[in-house]
Amino acid sequence: MHRSSFCTKFLKRKLSSSSISSSKPIPNETIGAKKRIFSGIQPTGSLHIGNYFGAVRRWKELQDEGEDVIFSVVDLHSITLRQEPKELSRNILNCTASLLASGINAEKCILFLQSSVSRHAELSWVLACLATMPRLGHLPQYKEKSVSMKEIPLGLFIYPVLQSADIMLYKATHVPVGEDQLQHIQLAQHLGNTFNARYGHTFPPIKAMVEESGVARLRSLRNPEKKMSKSDPDPKSRISLVDEPKVIVEKCKKAITDFTSEVTYDPEGRRGVATLIDLVSLCTGKPPHQVCSENSDIDTGKFKLRVADVLIETLKPIREEYNRLVKDPSHIKSVLDNGAERAHSIADKTWSEVRKKVGITLQK
């Protein structure tokens, strides 16, 4: 999962035993296993503010805390649905530049392009031979994406297996995800247990790390019933990390709210307004009720302009660094190449072990 990627319901309950709150230290609960964190993000469009607060900011925190972290731009996942080749190539460059501009430091983590490490696809095939069609067919994202398709690409059906391979190839023990990805982590847990039971212990247990914050409620600015997404065909539905100030102002002005002028926080009843409040809360660190209190003297129309001001100020250093980085694609390629070399050193060891245990190698 080179990307991410990256939920629509607010987490009001405590996380289950398979999830770990990002607000607490990450325990190494796997006896004898080295704690390692893996996550990825798809290069299918410009990273938006939801990607930043939902994934990238947490990635930066983990690397700065000295955790063993591996991040991947998951280009193989992006071609699950049709992509224009030249645009995909540009998106890989832009996505990597956005990550670096957001504070991902290739000296503190491993950052690489998924397709540059062929072991992902090879391990995915082994795991596919352990997966079942009923299990994959019940995954909610497959159901959601395939419902309107006349012909369903095989990749859309089996990509969660590749996602499992992404994690297991590095023997990762923790994976930062949104709530909508929890069933995919459960699939990885299942495939790891199945492999271990059949061929001997190889893969450690995998724990999901779910962010407990307002990012869980960030919705499309143009359709508050939908999650904010970089694949949404309407660019006004999201705030890109590299949007110019005038673009941010225009998007905030066009954000769908309702006919109530007061700035109040109701994530279910006033989803559009709640998303704007969440954006300010995430950028400033102030709780939603304080944001409402500080803006009780204005209507939602004027509040949109204040939201734009906060976003412009928050994203300014990211946008400026991004604009500098994209002018030097050779540097970005070098970062990804160096990351791939480091990723290979781990992936090759795992793949060699898997081949021997499965028997797809000549025994001496």
Catalytic residues: 145, 227, 230
Per DSSP bridges, beta strands 110-113 and 174-177 are unpaired
Amino acid in position 43: P
Closest CA to 117 of 338, 323, 329: 338
User: Tokens representing 61?
Assistant: 């925190």
Q: 318 with 345: CB under 8 angstroms?
A: no
Measure the CA–CA gap between 110 and 104, rounded to whole angstroms.
Answer: 10
Scanning the structure block, which residue is given the tokens 């994202």?
Answer: 141
Please tell me whether residue 94 adopts helix, strand or coil conformation. Answer: helix
Measure the CA–CA gap between 199 and 325, rounded to whole angstroms.
Answer: 46
Closest CA to 120 of 344, 358, 357, 361: 344
Please tell me whether residue 54 adopts helix, strand or coil conformation. Answer: helix
Please tell me whether residue 32 adopts helix, strand or coil conformation. Answer: coil
List C-alpha distances in Å: 277 to 199, 281, 311: 51, 6, 12
- Helices 85-101 and 300-325 cross at an angle (nearest 10°) of 100
Q: 240 with 47: CB under 8 angstroms?
A: yes
